[in-house]
């Protein structure tokens, strides 16, 4: 009997976010579903290349090897493919050493409604409109941008970077910025510094990651290289940092790095930090960074209306 999925950090992911099926998608768009199905069947033995979210998923699943008693992670493929076309990606999973055993193949139907069925705290897709629909319905979903960055197999640490407002918390503070610019934003955040912000789309994901970090800490493993490092890369700067830190403390979360950029180009930080995934609610930050960093757009809040 499999370990109860309700106790795990569960990520739902589409086949095109996990593997590079750009050619196959082009066939689908230009020639239709039947041509796509024929291509997948005829090329079943041809392994797809890793997709933009592959480095993140590989290292996330590696946490099950590090903590076998808890086995804290589950990845479920949620795919629009039909079951026959899905065989090709299921063949690729063991080839790449990915411990993925659950997959839903839906023959064209939207996959994200099944997030609740698997208790997923994140859904990753390369379908921008599908992600917008998912977020509008209250699901923690993200659009995976194209990224050609190579993956280093010798680098096993999982590094996750988050923007703060509109990602980990709601857009309350961003609304103040939209109404009155930086002076009103800073005044509002200073006045409300002791009142935690409400959680945003990815706060449940960060809470699950934080729980895994606590498992690692409790083991007192004598290894300076942590299995998971969490960073926040935010456009906030002082004095708006207090409310952010008080919110994280309220949630019982500690992060490893904090970058109060105050408008510094985030790409400059991410190129040094080298996370396997970065979540932000603004494409203006993500599109430059995606040159070297796997990036995910969270279309939530006032900036995405």
Active site residues: 163
| Under 8 Å between Cβ of 17 and 25 | no
Considering only CA atoms, which of 85, 58, 61 is closest in space to residue 72? 61
DSSP, res 110: -
- What backbone phi and psi angles, to 5 degrees, belong to 22? -65, -40
Instruction: Using the CB atoms, write b or e for 277-295: b if 16+ within 10 Å.
Output: bbbbbbbebbebbbeebbb
Q: How far apart are CA 15 and CA 57, in angstroms?
A: 12
- What backbone phi and psi angles, to 5 degrees, belong to 190? -70, -45
CB atoms within 10 A of CB 79: 26
Q: How far apart are CA 105 and CA 80, in angstroms?
A: 6
Task: Please give the angle made by the CA atoms of 169, 281 and 170, to the nearest 5 degrees.
Answer: 20
With residue 175 as reference, give the H or E element that holds it. helix 172-191
């Amino acid at each position: 009997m499999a370990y109860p999925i309700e106790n795990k950090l569960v990520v739902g992911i589409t086949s095109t976010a996990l593997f590079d099926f750009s050619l196959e998608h082009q066939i689908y768009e230009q020639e239709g579903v039947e041509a796509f199905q024929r291509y997948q069947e005829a090329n079943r033995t041809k392994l797809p290349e890793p997709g933009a979210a592959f480095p993140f998923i590989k290292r996330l699943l590696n946490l099950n090897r590090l903590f076998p008693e808890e086995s804290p992670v589950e990845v479920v493929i949620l795919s629009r493919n039909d079951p026959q076309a899905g065989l090709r990606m299921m063949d690729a999973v063991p080839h790449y050493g990915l411990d993925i055993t659950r997959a839903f193949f839906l023959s064209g139907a939207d996959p994200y409604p099944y997030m609740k069925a698997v208790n997923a705290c994140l859904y990753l897709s390369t379908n921008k409109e599908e992600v917008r629909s998912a977020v509008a319905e209250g699901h923690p979903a993200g659009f995976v941008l194209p990224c050609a960055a190579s993956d280093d197999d010798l680098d096993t640490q999982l590094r996750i970077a988050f923007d703060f407002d509109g990602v980990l918390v709601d857009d309350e503070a961003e609304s103040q910025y939209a109404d009155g610019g930086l002076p009103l934003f800073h005044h509002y955040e200073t006045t409300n510094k002791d009142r935690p912000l409400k959680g945003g789309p990815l706060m449940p994901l960060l809470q699950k990651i934080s729980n895994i970090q606590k498992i690692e800490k409790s083991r007192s493993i004598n290894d300076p290289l942590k299995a998971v490092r969490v960073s926040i890369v935010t456009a906030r700067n002082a004095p708006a940092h207090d409310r952010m830190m008080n919110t994280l403390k309220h949630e019982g979360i500690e992060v490893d790095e904090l970058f109060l950029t105050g408008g510094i180009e985030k790409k400059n930080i991410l190129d040094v930090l080298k996370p396997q995934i970065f979540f932000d609610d603004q494409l203006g930050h993500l599109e430059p960074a995606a040159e070297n960093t796997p990036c995910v757009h969270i279309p939530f809040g006032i900036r995405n209306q």
